[in-house]
């Protein structure tokens, strides 16, 4: 049986970067947990936020690898992400990991995949996971509104949860202020 579930979204607006994620973990048609924490702070100083979609164990392995890369390249999230993506694509054990990540610091937001992709969204909004496309569409529709980044992310997550059965409304949010 395959583990399903998760929606992770990032919204950059008004000098803030927000990563929000739901808490549902499903196995087939069964909800195993409704309060998983899929968004967290990384790095020695907690100045990187990250969210994952996919296998929990695989995601934690990737979080650990990214943290070690951040120790090597402390203020260079892009460089650390590229180095992780290289390892992920070429290392025999890492290649089998089934997860995706969104990471952000005060300057950049990146999506990392096991295919070696390190992608920066054009508009500061990106999403991954089973409800990712629903959340992404909702956030883009709300981007020009008066809502701030966190309100947009929360509303987009609520909309995704209304549509995707593998997404719930138990939302974890982490924020970082953009570099001046």
The strand pairing partners of 160, in sequence order, are none
Cβ atoms 157, 147 nearer than 8 A? no
- Active-site residue among 6, 10, 126, 172? 6
Look at the block and give the residue holding tokens 């392995």.
61
Is 28 exposed, middle or buried, given 0-12, 13-18 or 19+ CB atoms closer than 10 A?
A: exposed
Cβ atoms 22, 39 nearer than 8 A? no
Q: Is 158 left (phi over 0), alpha (psi -120 to 50) or beta?
A: alpha
Residues 74 and 105: their CA atoms lie apart, in Å, by 11
Q: Is 28 left (phi over 0), alpha (psi -120 to 50) or beta?
A: left
> Any catalytic annotation for residue 169?
no
Active site residues: 6
């Amino acid at each position: 049986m395959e583990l399903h579930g998760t929606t992770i979204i990032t919204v950059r607006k008004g000098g803030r970067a927000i990563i929000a994620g739901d808490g549902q973990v499903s196995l087939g048609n069964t909800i195993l947990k409704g309060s998983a924490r899929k968004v967290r702070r990384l790095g020695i100083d907690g100045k990187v936020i990250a969210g994952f979609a996919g296998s929990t164990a695989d995601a934690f392995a990737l979080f650990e690898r990214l943290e070690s890369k951040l120790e090597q390249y402390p203020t260079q999230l892009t460089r650390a992400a590229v180095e992780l993506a290289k390892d992920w694509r070429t290392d025999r054990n890492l290649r089998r990991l089934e997860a995706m990540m969104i990471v952000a610091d005060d300057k950049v937001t990146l999506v990392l995949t096991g295919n070696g992709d390190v992608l920066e969204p054009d508009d500061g909004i990106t999403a991954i996971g089973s409800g990712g496309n629903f959340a992404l569409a909702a956030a883009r529709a709300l981007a020009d509104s008066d809502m701030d980044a966190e309100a947009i992310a929360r509303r987009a997550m609520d909309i995704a949860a209304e549509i995707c059965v593998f997404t719930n409304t138990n939302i974890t949010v982490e924020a970082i202020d953009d570099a001046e």
